């Protein structure tokens, strides 16, 4: 359980796998993008991207009366989702410790789909490419190297704030979006699960 003093209670992959195999499993909300979710997710998880969850947290809260485990790639987005749902008054929230990376590393089952580059890898490619190109062009055009400096400052801020503006922009590309999450379908599934 979560408390005001320590809202996020981590849930280990082993503990979650045990609960899922005994049939007493909590509801799983995967807050990654639809594209990330389609690449691989925990069997039985519902995909509710973080932005959608924030927008519909009150409506979701009315249908999440049991224990809920929030899942993302590493735990950062799931922690933000936990904060949003806790603000809506939802108890019994936990975050999968280490996210899908830890789940997969533990050898737990994953429903796999079309493989895509992870968001972090895409950010490294775009940021690295911009720095490389601005550095090379900077030999011929004075001041262009400052673009790479700005990217470096952005990445530093992203690390310190545990957010990533570039990742949020990349998540909006068609490659990463996949099919839009239909919140009504998710809520209907939650309602039908006894």
- Is 164 annotated as catalytic? no
In terms of phi and psi (left: phi > 0; alpha: psi -120 to 50; beta: otherwise), the region of 165 is alpha
- Name the residue with tokens 């195999």: 21
How many Cβ atoms sit within 10 Å of the Cβ of residue 56? 18
Among 184, 174, 165, 187, smallest CA distance to 29 is for 187
Other CB atoms within a 10 A radius of the CB of residue 169 amount to 12
Catalytic residue among 28, 72, 100, 190: 72
Nearest to residue 13, comparing CAs of 81, 99, 75? 99
Residue 193's DSSP bridge partners are: none
Indicate left, alpha or beta for 142 from its phi (over 0: left) and psi (-120 to 50: alpha): beta
Catalytic center residues: 72
């Amino acid at each position: 359980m979560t408390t005001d003093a320590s809202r996020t209670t981590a849930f280990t992959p082993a503990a979650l796998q045990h609960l899922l195999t005994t049939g007493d499993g909590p509801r799983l909300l995967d807050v990654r993008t639809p594209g990330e979710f389609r690449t691989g997710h925990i069997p039985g998880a519902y995909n509710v991207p973080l932005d959608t969850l924030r927008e519909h947290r009150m409506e979701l809260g009315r249908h999440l009366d049991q224990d809920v485990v929030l899942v993302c790639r590493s735990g950062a987005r799931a922690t933000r989702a936990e904060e949003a749902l806790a603000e809506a008054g939802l108890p019994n929230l936990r975050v999968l410790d280490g996210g899908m990376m830890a789940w997969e590393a533990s050898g737990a089952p994953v429903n796999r789909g079309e493989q895509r580059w992870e968001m972090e890898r895409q950010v490294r490619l775009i940021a690295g490419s911009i720095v490389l190109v601005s550095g090379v062009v900077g030999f011929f055009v004075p001041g262009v190297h400052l673009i790479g400096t700005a990217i470096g400052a952005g990445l530093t801020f992203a690390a310190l704030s545990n957010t990533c503006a570039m990742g949020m922009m990349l998540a909006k590309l068609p490659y990463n979006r996949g099919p839009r999450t239909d919140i009504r379908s998710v809520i209907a599934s939650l309602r039908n699960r006894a």
